[in-house]
Amino acid sequence: MIAAETDESTGSHAEDDENYFVSMTDMMVGILFIFIIMLMVFALNFQKQTDQTEMLTKQQRQQIERAQQLARQIANLQTRIDTEVSEINKADKARATLLETIRARLEAVGLKVTIDSATGVLRLAEDAIEFASDNSTLDRTASANVDALSKVLLDVLPAYSACASDAICPQHSGYTVETVFIEGHTDRTGQDNRNWQLSTERAVNTYRRIVDNFPGLRNLKNSASREVLSVSGYAYTRPATNREDPDGRKINRRIDLRFVMEADREKRLTELTNLLEQMKQQVETLQESARAGLPVSKQPAPNVAP
């Protein structure tokens, strides 16, 4: 019996061991199966990520190509802007030459003037064209000096004016004056409304004296075929001096001539600057989309003429 019990016990242990190993095997197979599934999922995800990476790389290439195209356009535009700025600087130098020529001619006939090359203003000394307080009449001395000024303008300005096709034109400077403003000014005394009226009257009376005695000046035109001479009044808003003593007020009761060169280049420069800003915004958009991994927005490139 003992032996039988021993055999039965041994068989029971063997069966238990077998069941244990079967359970372990099943568990290992299950774990392996799960691992295989995980590996397959990982592989699929990796493949998907690879495809997305390739797609993103293609989008980035498109962005880079677009950015490079815009960079070339910006470089071309910047070159044009530099050219325009250079032309404006040359026009400013031409105006400075014009002012210096007029000053030299006027000083040769005894008229003292000062010039401001930055603003294009030629200022006649108060003893050249003098106005009494609250008065816009040109006296005999002022009238004679306006005539001397007019003669110099008629000699010098044709080289800076547009030339009619049927006219015999002098050698041109290459730069054209748009406007010569005859500007009237007052001192600070008196009523505001009266000063505005007074400054305009001084400018108009000076203008009438110029064109009445030298009508050829009305034939001087800018490139838009408009007369070069014009008038404006500033009351006391643009004083030549801040002194409020009698001598200071006398200085401020004056006539200035402001020379404005053709502004078409400045207008084109503004247009070019706006185009440059548009291009910069598109580059910034490309950079933002590249960082965010977004597709390139198909925006038309600005039209930049060569």
Give pLDDT tens digits for 212-258.
Answer: 999 999 999 998 889 999 999 999 999 999 999 999 999 999 999 99
The answer to whether position 58 is within a domain reads: no
Other Cβ atoms within 10 Å of 258 Cβ, number: 17
CA distances (Å), 109 to each of 124, 126, 212, 270, in order? 13, 16, 21, 42
Spell out, as residue ranges, where the chain has pLDDT lower than 50.
1-22, 24, 165-167, 296, 298, 304, 306
The answer to whether position 118 is within a domain reads: yes
- For residue 120, the model assigns a pLDDT of 92
* Chain-centre distance for alpha carbon 239: 30
The answer to whether position 249 is within a domain reads: yes
**Interatomic CA distance for residues 296 and 286, integer angstroms:** 7
Into how many domains does the chain fold?
A: 1
The answer to whether position 238 is within a domain reads: yes
> Contact at 8 Å (CB) between 278 and 302?
yes
- For residue 75, the model assigns a pLDDT of 73
Which ranges of the chain would DSSP assign to H, the alpha helix? 2-108, 140-156, 192-213, 246-252, 264-292
What's the whole-model pTM score? 0.63
| Residue 60 Ramachandran class (φ > 0 left, ψ -120 to 50 alpha, else beta) | alpha
Long-range pairs for 192-199: beta carbons < 8 A, 24 or more residues apart: 192/235, 194/134, 195/235, 195/236, 196/233, 196/235, 197/233, 198/134, 198/135, 198/136, 198/233, 198/235, 199/233, 199/234, 199/235, 199/236
Give SS3 for 259: strand
- For residue 278, the model assigns a pLDDT of 72
The answer to whether position 167 is within a domain reads: yes
The answer to whether position 47 is within a domain reads: no
Dihedral sign of CA atoms 145, 113, 152, 211 in order:
negative
| Enclosing domain of residue 161 | 97-260
**Interatomic CA distance for residues 27 and 15, integer angstroms:** 18
Cβ partners under 8 Å of residue 118, min gap 6: none
The answer to whether position 186 is within a domain reads: yes
**Interatomic CA distance for residues 156 and 158, integer angstroms:** 6
- For residue 155, the model assigns a pLDDT of 94
The answer to whether position 38 is within a domain reads: no
Query: In 3D, which of 266, 237, 236 has the Cα closest to residue 253?
Result: 236
- For residue 25, the model assigns a pLDDT of 52
Query: In 3D, which of 116, 112, 130 has the Cα closest to residue 253?
Result: 130
CATH value at residue 216 = 3.30.1330.60
- For residue 206, the model assigns a pLDDT of 97
Q: Cα 70–74–75 angle (5° rounding)?
A: 120
